[in-house]
Amino acid sequence: MKKNFKNKFTAYQNTIGILNTKSGVYEEYPVAVAAANEFRELVEQIKIIGERIDFDYSKLTARKQQIKHELAEAVSALAAAVSIYAGEIKDPDLQAVSSKTYSDIRRASDFQTLEQARSLQTLVLQHKEQLSAYMVSEEDLAGLKRLIEEFDAIYVNKEEIFSESVVYNRRLEQLFKEADRVLRNKIDKFVKKLKPVNEDFFDSYFQARVIVDL
């Protein structure tokens, strides 16, 4: 959930807390009870969608970081072997292509990481027979292939989740607008109406309504 959404959602939760603890002040007025319930339902919908967005991104990001680390390790190790081979055959072009380090792969954008890994994979396969004498095994090639495919799948999934999040965020914007409308047009007004009989409720409610930038 976006920061401004989170800050507002916190204020909503604080507001519901006051509405719950002070429900005795307004429970005899059906219109007030209905407005409070409407607001609670909207906030619950916001919570469900917000948790879905946060869960999808946090889970995907953690897995992506792990695979990117493993891919950077594999690419840099194979690049070192290719570099040795390039030095032996005195091929400056091959030496330049094989100069990738762990940091080069790890710190690159996701797209660049994939491109660099695939370029090295192509290079290694072209010199597969010669590189077998430089500690490059079939297991190394299979491991690189697996990591590239897994990272590519995460990259594609990230784009899909981003597209879904656009839809979710639009829905959240609408829900926040609806919740604000209920607060301004209904709950704020009945709380003001009840101020003469319970000023503590009035003060607590509007204090809870304040949105703090965390």
189 within some domain: yes
Which residue range forms the structural domain that includes residue 116? 3-208
Distance CA 140, CA 161 (A): 31
Task: Determine the average pLDDT of the residues in 71-95.
Answer: 91
Number of domains in the chain: 1
213 within some domain: no
Distance CA 209, CA 158 (A): 35
Per residue in 149-178, pLDDT (tens digit) is 999 888 777 666 666 677 788 888 999 999
183 within some domain: yes
Instruction: Report pTM.
Output: 0.57
186 within some domain: yes
Ordered alpha helix ranges (H), 22-137: 23-26, 30-88, 92-97, 102-106, 110-126, 128-131
* Residue 2, pLDDT above cutoff 70: yes
**Whose structure tokens read 């380090």?**
101
Q: How much is the pLDDT for 63?
A: 82
163 within some domain: yes
Distance CA 192, CA 186 (A): 10
193 within some domain: yes
82 within some domain: yes
50 within some domain: yes
